[in-house]
Amino acid sequence: MCRKDSSDKHSFKGHAVQYREVQGHETEKFLSYFKPCIIPREGGVASGFKKVEAEEHKTRLFVEFVRSSLNHDDVFILDIESKIYQFNGSKSSIQERAKALKVVQYINDPYHDGKCDIATIEDGKLTADAKSEDLWAIFGGFAPLPRKVVTDNTQSIDDLPTRLFG
């Protein structure tokens, strides 16, 4: 049992202190240790006990890699071998866009040696350009994103199962 010392109310007398964090409900303090973000990766790490083969670069969308994952309300990052795309939904906030840009720069540095092209795609932009055509080609061609339909049977985000995509 840890006895509190009245002279030092933050002293734990050498005893370990543990905190529990639940995925999707992390505290700000916990997230502050992983700036600008946490990017989960499949596989392991090389160590004295385990040898991991170097893997080829995999195209990653940081949600499920299907067109239906994209929407007008959020910002998405697509990382392919030669380019990183930031897709800004037309209703996304400036804070989301700024945070996503930090994540894009974070991905570019360690995973692409800072040499990867970065393309920002603005949702709802009527004029097509080469970088947006490239993005849509990855998804099999351009098609408008569906608008959200509000129903009476809406589910809270807290009711959805937690899933992690890498």
pLDDT tens-digit series, residues 113-124: 888 899 998 887
pLDDT band, residue 91 (cuts 50/70/90): very high
Check pLDDT > 70 for residue 155: no
Can you give the CATH number for the domain in which 123 is found?
3.40.20.10
Global pTM reads 0.60
Under a CB-based contact definition with an 8 Å cutoff, are residues 90 and 72 in contact?
yes
Is 97 a domain residue? Answer: yes
Tell me the torsion sign for CA atoms 112, 122, 25, 35.
positive
Is 40 a domain residue? Answer: no
36-48 residues labelled b (16+ CB within 10 A) or e (exposed):
eeebeeeeeeeee
Is 162 a domain residue? Answer: no
Q: What is the pLDDT of residue 50?
A: 61
End-to-end CA distance of the chain: 41
Domain assignment of residue 87, given as a range: 56-147
pLDDT-above-90 percentage for the chain: 15
Angstrom distance (rounded) from CA 107 to CA 52: 21
Is 126 a domain residue? Answer: yes
Total domains in the chain come to: 1
